[in-house]
Structure 1
Amino acid sequence: MTDARRLLVLLYGAAALTGQAGSIIWMKRLALVMGGTVTAVAAVLTVILSGYAIGGLVVGRYGRDDWNVTRRFAGIQVFLGAWFLALPVLFDRVESVYAAVAPPVDTPGHAALRVALTIPILLPPAAAMGAVFPLVSAAGVSRVFAAGVSGSLAGVLIATLLMLPGFGVAGSLVRLGAANGIVGLAAWLLPAVRLAKPESVSHGPAGRACLTGAALGIALFLAEILWLRLVFLVVDQTAYAEGIVVGAVFLAMAGGALWASHPKPALPVVLVATAVAQCLLIPGMVWLARGWNGLARDASFPVFLLLEFLLATAVVGLPSIGYGLAVPRLCAGLCPRAVGRVWAAHYLGGMVASLLAPFAVIPAIGMTAALALASTVLALPLLLDRRWAHAATVLVVSAVAASGDVTYRSEAAGREERILLHRDDGDGLVEVFERIDDGTRSLLSSRRRQEGGDGPEQVAVERLMGCLPVLLHGTAREVLVVGLGTGVTVGAMLGDPQIRRLTCVEISPGVMDAAPFFDRASGGALHDPRARYVVQDGRSFIRLTRDRFDLILQELFFAYRAGVGSLYADEHYRRCRDRLAPGGRMAQWISLAQIGPEELRSVVRTFQGVFPHTSLWRSRAYLMLLGGDRPLVPPAVAELRHFLAADDAVAAWAAGAPINTEDNLLVEYQAPRMFRWLNTFELVIGNLRGLAAIRQDATVLAHGLPAGPSAGARRLLEGMLAQAEGDLETARLALRGALEADPGNDEARQLLMSLAGAR
């Protein structure tokens, strides 16, 4: 290989880095514009994969042997650099058009609109990226492919771990644009490399290679969708974890691509080994889950990410090595024009899998059968090549594996519970568990997140979450709720006869299917004629609806989950404010066990910056932010004992905290760093200690907040903190003070009773 070809391969690796990092950021930004529903993500992904395929087809059809590859590569990189620099403006323009014309609910027309708006901003750069590999393959397919997947690995990790947390969306795009420009200028200075056929042995006609490439694309993209879901049965689906899983795929594929420089094994053997490795995951997933439990409990955050990377590699590693080996094996001996056609077929297969997997394949047959199907697809090129024994091996192994359960549901239920609902929908796994001893039920998504339940204490909390904002508003007629869960909160709100219409928006179809299992606890909320239920991203619905509401309630969300941080963003709260009727109120519930103290202050400051008259209300481990454009004059109800602070006191407490925006994604990238304390009593106490520092101005009480419940709430908080610190005598004194100020404070009474025999 000449020096020019070596340098070209290195520059291609750098271009793959910027391209993959850019793709991560595109998906993140367009999810903010068009929503995080399965249909929205599929629309964006369809355009990107179509662009990659078009780029390959252009080279395959119009490429000529006398093309100067280095100059064309350089031109593409300069073009991409300029496009990246323009993307922040283009995204803003698309966002304006989308908000003006899109309907608030998902329909086939809405999906088509998403595609139509994505094409002009992402199809050109995606097509340019898709043309690069076939062009540069003139420098040697195996080396170029290895450089590409290695660069993609670096791009995923840099975008996920450094760029988005450090520079936000717009800042990252600007830096990537500059990097592409530098790569382009460096390539322009290289000596010419012509689009000539590499000297190697051909593996058959390009037409058959295209069919094999399409099969590999279908199998790989279907498997990758499933791998993500399986990893998120074991670890939380954070923005970091998403990047780590994709990075693990590229790492293993890079190993396979480096192996491709050796003559063995042959492509049929690679396909069989890849299919078998995928099927082994079906019985092996339960062992990986068992091995993970407790492994990262005391790790630092960098070590935790490394352990997540090792888990992801254990899930995706062996089959990904096979895919990384198969693609260069397939393209070896083909001229760059033929490589372009195979590359296009590969991404067209990936596009088909990305469309069918969430909407048809996984909901219809489940994750286990879908993973077996991904292996079965690899038998198709073997059948076309009349490799009967190889194909039979793949088909038999896939059929046997399909009888297993990759989601290990019996292990998850154990002997104490049974599973009433197990749904693999387009948004993830949703399950309803029922305890055998007392019949209480729990709703879980991706097995990591409890969305609610019908235990007595849990129902009491969920009902309060609905009743409190309705009571404090006093005259709400039109209500919007973001998040359904078990429906208990919605049912509590519908208990107010003044409510004429309640709209509930839920992003997960599986959660909608699970809600009827909690009809008794919710009071039949799903059947109330005043309520309508919409399956849609709550952010998108609020952006697109033209309705106005007296009260908007955002239910509890998992702040550390990928994509959820934008529900606490300044831009989203402003859209909520614009959808309020005159005198309307916005309510936001937050779990004090799922967000760090600094992130909590950031959310409060962001909320209070939009709603200047903000009050804080606490019940157990939950905090409610209630905001509007005028001071709160609450009715005389017992629930006032949950009051903590309002207006100036809230602003003073949150002053100096950074604002969470859709560009800086502060909550999305900071909340997961509290992984060691998520859902722990220690995190609740840390947040309560911070809230105890609020000094409420006495003038607030003049607006109708009685001194008794307010003083009782503060004494209760003091008692909880003293109990957590082991100072039981101080805790008893504070809890007695809470009951003296507010004799109806049941939470203080229960805590005091629990301390009666403690020493």
Structure 2
Amino acid sequence: ALTVLTGFTGLVYEVTWQKYLATLLGSHSEATAAVLALFLGGLSLGYALFGRATAWLLIRARERGKPPRLLAFYAAIEGAIGVYALLFPTLYGGVQELSLVLPVFESGTGFFFDVLLSAVLIAPPSILMGGTIPILTLVLSESLDTATRVHAWVYGFNTVGAFAGALLGGFFLIPALGLDKVSYSMGCINICAALVFLILDRTTVQTVSGAEDEPEAVPGARVPGYFVLIAVAALSGFAMMTIQTVLNRIGGLAFGASIFTFAMVVAVFVFSIAVGSLVVSFLPRISSRTIVATQWSLVLFVVLLYGLIPNAPYYAHVARSLFQPTDAAFYSYQFFSFLGLLAVLIIPIGLSGALLPLLFHHLRQTVGDLGTTAGSLYSWNTAGSLLGALLGGYALLFFFDLHVVFRIALGALVLCAGLLTVLLLPISRFAALVLVVIPACAGIWSLPEWDPERLDSGLFRTRQATALSYSGADAFFGNRMRRIIFHRDGPSTTATVREGRKNDERPGFSLSTNGKPDGSLVGDYPTMALAALFPALLAEETRRSFVIGYGTGVTAGELAALGEMQEVHVAEISQAVMDAAPYFEVGNQAPLASPKVIIHRSDAYRSLLRAEGLYDIIVSEPSNPWVSGVEMLFSREFLGAAKDKLTPGGVYAQWFHLYEVDNEALELVLRTYLSVFDQVSLWFTMQADLVIMGIQDSDRALDVEAMRTRFQRPDLQAGFERVGIDNLAAVFAHEIIPLGVLNALDLEGPVQTLRHPRLSHLAAKAFFRGKQATLPEVVRPESVRVGLKNSLLRKLVEGKPLPPVVLGVAATENCRFDRGNTCATFIAKWMHEHPFSGQLARVLSKLRKNPRVASELRGDFIESLVVFYNAEQKRMRLEPAPLAKTLNKTRRYLKNFNLVVPFERRALDRIWRACDTPPCEEPRLNLEARIGPLDLSPPRLPNS
């Protein structure tokens, strides 16, 4: 049980450290590579050090004629791990401060120094964890005959605990407790385990490995084939860690690159390794042929796996289509996906897990010292794993795509099998090389490349079965192809450029990262352009700007096109995205050709913290928050850093979306913004795309005359015209929630922080459901008062009622971007005030031609909204209504409510007065608890 428990804490530490280092290094992929490398490197050094330490303790104990007290030694190690875990959050804070004062290095050199900083944090506990297997193998082995079984047992059950830690840490512990509390909790577990081992040391008579009949220890270097076995252990570690990092990326392409995918792949690996090790413990006899056959079987199954990988997104889609998009089905789907991965990987990964126990069995009779034997094997295997994490998981991807890196790992496995064949079977080196190794390597390099059309298809967003979902991968993909003109696997990102539909102004190129569409020059142009233009209109000056995420380059291009702009700094972490950038120069104002644009190949957090000077505009366009590593850009710490880098009249703008997210995640984001910025406003760019703007100076951000002057600048006008906006009223029609309104809402709850990340967990679950979030209700009287006062559209008409021309512009702008409900509200307001307007009829007829909003513009629907502007009873003529009808009207009132043209509150009161039966009393009280009393006088318009 203690062995399982220590394995559990070890993987929880690994998952937790990965989240810590993602903040320190600024990259999920770099953090994963660094954690794997340092964790495994520390284990390697620990295996070696503690293998030798146990041998020294045994010699000393024999010389003194006393038991070696290895359990007490191991208790001290567990206790030290626990104490370090309790100190880790404090140590991390110090290292993070140190990282910010160090000079900035480019690419590979920078990553090297990042790894050194990370080593300061996680190398010490990792080395201590390396004592588990060599010490417990020695303590629990009664004789050499049982050593192989005990060793496999220790390794296997320790890995079972690690499997549980990987799942529980990623899925539950971190979202529930936060990083610091998880570290404290695991530290307490280690300290408790240390106390138990100390008690066992005092109550157990320790005899180690049948010392009386143990053969004289022989130095490993003098054992025939010792260096070959060490080389096999190292090569195997390199190959399997490289394969794991590649499969992490494939998992992201198949299931979506969420935190759950990473945890699931790691869990499958450690569970399969545990199974392979435990199987060895039950083998009645182990021959040399068994060892060789195991390794060649591993090669065969990895080759079969190579052939399955291109269709992984299809298989994941089929699995996803079997589950309904509900909360109840989320964990069932994750478990089913885990079982599917396990079914595919358990044999090859299990075979790899059996290798070290098999090699230990071969060496144990000749080396004699069990602790040193286990320590040496695991040390070299883990050293190879370290290289696999650094090279296969990072460095090689600067030069090769994923399928090439996978082939390199496969070649290493072939070399392992060839070395074991020569060492353990009666075959000459030449014969093995000519007849086995060379043909196998040639076969590997003749394998077909992975098809990016399939791997980068982004099927994880297709939740429902299609007509061809169950017809096989070939039939399914044969009907979905779009021409890929660029594909590149980088260390952190797989980037793909596709050619799609085009318009008269620009080609239809689109960018996908890790299989997820992240922008196109046609459909997404308004969002990417307006993310730059809205803050440019509100900011006092437009001289310096900072863009987080290059993407298609549209935002950077629009900012660089402004005449006053002097510098546009862009932080882009993915080299693959920058390699794809030239394809978009034909439609994004060519930012790469502009001397104003400065690209920083680095993460946004550290680039911003280290940036010199202040910025008038900061625009953040991250990927969706369910993507691993993105939630950092929504944290209170990051927003605080951005605020500190703004000029007094500056604006921070961040893209967010309402699709594939829920209200809980949206409100978490808004609460976090409000905890940093005193004034926040929300604007729409498309039907479900938002720009959240944090304002430094609210007075300047409400100065409509200054904005009118800026809008008359030819450069800013040209930018808005590129998205079809030619007047200031149309711009202000995009404002959904004016400044100060969110502050008036009751958005109680936690905020997103780096030490307690919640957003990616919430967003991943919401992504599974695929629903659309709704903005917070702004119907309370205080919200309406602030909204009417600060609405830029109302300030444009100097606080007077909106004239028909402005109502028409606002309605048209909302309908143009498929916001049918808001469009209908403006039409209803117009119809209420000018019911016989011929201009209204013409505008409404034109807007109804858009099929995506036609249902909201039906005559009966518009008339049902007009009722909400009639406050007088004599005009409403309400008949007694049942509760169901009253609730339907209330939902329509709340869904279509707009702060610029708010409905009459008394109209809703009249509706509920008509519902006068006893069942109506409690629902009305619940409604008033949400939005305030219904019978208040309407708020007066400013200046009216």
Matched, 1:492 2:558: yes
- Cα distance, 1:658 vs structure 2: 2.2
2:106 alignment counterpart:
106
Q: Could you tell me whether the CA contact under 8 Å between 1:60 and 1:340 is conserved in 2? A: yes
2:613 alignment counterpart:
547
SS at match of 1:522: coil
2:411 alignment counterpart:
376
Q: Distance in 2 between matches of 1:32 and 1:494?
A: 30
* Cα displacement string for residues 417-442 of structure 1 (whole angstroms, at most 9, x for unaligned residues): 22111111111321111248986222
SS at match of 1:585: strand
Q: Could you tell me whether the CA contact under 8 Å between 1:82 and 1:177 is conserved in 2? A: yes
Query: CA 1:403/1:422 → structure 2, altered by over 3 Å: closer, same or farther?
Result: farther
SS at match of 2:752: coil
Q: Distance in 2 between matches of 1:738 and 1:384?
A: 88
2:46 alignment counterpart:
55
Task: Please point out which of 604, 609, 626 is paired with 2:670.
Answer: 604
2:380 alignment counterpart:
345
- Cα distance, 1:696 vs structure 2: 5.7
Range with greater deviation from structure 2 (195-204 or 360-369)? 195-204
1:216 alignment counterpart:
236
Range with greater deviation from structure 2 (703-712 or 369-378)? 703-712
SS at match of 1:561: coil
SS at match of 2:569: strand
Query: CA 1:723/1:122 → structure 2, altered by over 3 Å: closer, same or farther?
Result: closer
Range with greater deviation from structure 2 (208-217 or 529-538)? 208-217
Task: Please point out which of 190, 193, 197 is paired with 1:187.
Answer: 197
Query: CA 1:402/1:418 → structure 2, altered by over 3 Å: closer, same or farther?
Result: farther
Q: Distance in 1 between matches of 2:230 and 2:808?
A: 73
Q: Could you tell me whether the CA contact under 8 Å between 1:739 and 1:749 is conserved in 2? A: no
Query: CA 1:79/1:664 → structure 2, altered by over 3 Å: closer, same or farther?
Result: same
Q: Could you tell me whether the CA contact under 8 Å between 2:10 and 2:129 is conserved in 1? A: yes
- Cα distance, 1:731 vs structure 2: 9.7
* Cα displacement string for residues 475-531 of structure 1 (whole angstroms, at most 9, x for unaligned residues): 221100001111112111222111100001111110111111111111211110000
Q: Could you tell me whether the CA contact under 8 Å between 1:477 and 1:499 is conserved in 2? A: yes
Which amino acid letter does the alignment assign opposite residue 443 of structure 2? V
- Cα distance, 1:281 vs structure 2: 1.6
SS at match of 1:443: strand
Range with greater deviation from structure 2 (610-619 or 304-313)? 304-313
Q: Could you tell me whether the CA contact under 8 Å between 1:212 and 1:381 is conserved in 2? A: yes
Matched, 1:564 2:630: yes
2:86 alignment counterpart:
85
Q: Could you tell me whether the CA contact under 8 Å between 2:7 and 2:162 is conserved in 1? A: yes
Q: Distance in 2 between matches of 1:27 and 1:747?
A: 55
Query: CA 1:337/1:244 → structure 2, altered by over 3 Å: closer, same or farther?
Result: same
1:4 alignment counterpart:
none
Q: How does 1:640-719 map to 2 (within 5 A)?
A: 640-653=732-745, 655-678=747-770, 682-683=771-772, 686-688=773-775, 695=784, 697=786, 698-701=788-791, 704=795, 706=797, 708=802
Query: CA 1:98/1:288 → structure 2, altered by over 3 Å: closer, same or farther?
Result: closer
2:850 alignment counterpart:
753
Q: Distance in 1 between matches of 2:583 and 2:207?
A: 65
Q: Could you tell me whether the CA contact under 8 Å between 1:68 and 1:192 is conserved in 2? A: no
Matched, 1:305 2:334: yes
Q: Distance in 1 between matches of 2:376 and 2:525?
A: 58
- Cα distance, 1:290 vs structure 2: 2.2
Query: CA 1:194/1:31 → structure 2, altered by over 3 Å: closer, same or farther?
Result: farther
Task: Please point out which of 271, 276, 284 is paired with 2:300.
Answer: 276
Task: Please point out which of 488, 494, 504 is paired with 1:423.
Answer: 488
Q: How does 1:156-555 map to 2 (within 5 A)?
A: 156-190=166-200, 191-193=204-206, 196=209, 205-261=225-281, 262=283, 263=285, 266-297=290-321, 298=324, 300-332=329-361, 333-334=363-364, 335-385=370-420, 386=422, 393=436, 396-397=439-440, 399-405=442-448, 407-411=450-454, 412=457, 414=478, 416-435=481-500, 440-447=508-515, 449-455=516-522, 457-555=523-621
Q: How does 1:33-52 map to 2 (within 5 A)?
A: 33-36=24-27, 38-39=29-30, 41-52=32-43
Task: Please point out which of 10, 13, 16 is paired with 2:4.
Answer: 13
SS at match of 2:178: helix
- Cα distance, 1:188 vs structure 2: 1.2
Q: Could you tell me whether the CA contact under 8 Å between 1:60 and 1:337 is conserved in 2? A: yes
SS at match of 2:768: coil
Q: Could you tell me whether the CA contact under 8 Å between 1:479 and 1:502 is conserved in 2? A: yes
Q: Distance in 2 between matches of 1:317 and 1:734?
A: 64
* Cα displacement string for residues 709-745 of structure 1 (whole angstroms, at most 9, x for unaligned residues): 99779878998999989x99989747978999999x9
Aligned residues: 740
SS at match of 1:520: coil
* Cα displacement string for residues 163-204 of structure 1 (whole angstroms, at most 9, x for unaligned residues): 101100001011001100111111112225455479999996
Query: CA 1:724/1:471 → structure 2, altered by over 3 Å: closer, same or farther?
Result: closer
Q: Distance in 2 between matches of 1:210 and 1:428?
A: 34
Q: Could you tell me whether the CA contact under 8 Å between 1:216 and 1:378 is conserved in 2? A: yes
Query: CA 1:399/1:649 → structure 2, altered by over 3 Å: closer, same or farther?
Result: same
* Cα displacement string for residues 577-617 of structure 1 (whole angstroms, at most 9, x for unaligned residues): 11112222111110211432121111112112211011111
SS at match of 2:672: helix
Q: Distance in 2 between matches of 1:520 and 1:737?
A: 47
* Cα displacement string for residues 219-252 of structure 1 (whole angstroms, at most 9, x for unaligned residues): 1111101111111111111112211110011121
Q: Distance in 1 between matches of 2:235 and 2:807?
A: 68
Which amino acid letter does the alignment assign opposite residue 340 of structure 1? G
Range with greater deviation from structure 2 (622-631 or 707-716)? 707-716
Range with greater deviation from structure 2 (611-620 or 401-410)? 401-410
Which amino acid letter does the alignment assign opposite residue 563 of structure 1? G
Q: Distance in 2 between matches of 1:478 and 1:575?
A: 17
- Cα distance, 1:53 vs structure 2: 1.6
Q: Could you tell me whether the CA contact under 8 Å between 1:81 and 1:178 is conserved in 2? A: yes
* Cα displacement string for residues 15-55 of structure 1 (whole angstroms, at most 9, x for unaligned residues): 11111111211121121122116555544543333211211
Which amino acid letter does the alignment assign opposite residue 753 of structure 1? N
Matched, 1:581 2:582: no
1:146 alignment counterpart:
156
Q: Could you tell me whether the CA contact under 8 Å between 2:814 and 2:823 is conserved in 1? A: no
Q: Distance in 1 between matches of 2:812 and 2:177?
A: 41
Matched, 1:639 2:731: yes
Range with greater deviation from structure 2 (419-428 or 705-714)? 705-714
SS at match of 1:676: helix
Q: Distance in 1 between matches of 2:830 and 2:606?
A: 44
* Cα displacement string for residues 626-674 of structure 1 (whole angstroms, at most 9, x for unaligned residues): 1123211241334111112233311233621421111221111111111
Q: Could you tell me whether the CA contact under 8 Å between 2:22 and 2:30 is conserved in 1? A: no
Identity of aligned residues (%): 21
Range with greater deviation from structure 2 (64-73 or 497-506)? 64-73
SS at match of 1:507: coil
Which amino acid letter does the alignment assign opposite residue 227 of structure 2? G
Range with greater deviation from structure 2 (552-561 or 626-635)? 626-635
- Cα distance, 1:117 vs structure 2: 2.6
Query: CA 1:216/1:739 → structure 2, altered by over 3 Å: closer, same or farther?
Result: farther
Q: Distance in 2 between matches of 1:477 and 1:437?
A: 33
Q: Could you tell me whether the CA contact under 8 Å between 1:466 and 1:489 is conserved in 2? A: yes
Range with greater deviation from structure 2 (652-661 or 434-443)? 434-443
1:627 alignment counterpart:
694
Q: Distance in 1 between matches of 2:789 and 2:54?
A: 77
RMSD (Å) for aligned C-alpha atoms: 3.5
Query: CA 1:654/1:584 → structure 2, altered by over 3 Å: closer, same or farther?
Result: farther
SS at match of 2:131: helix
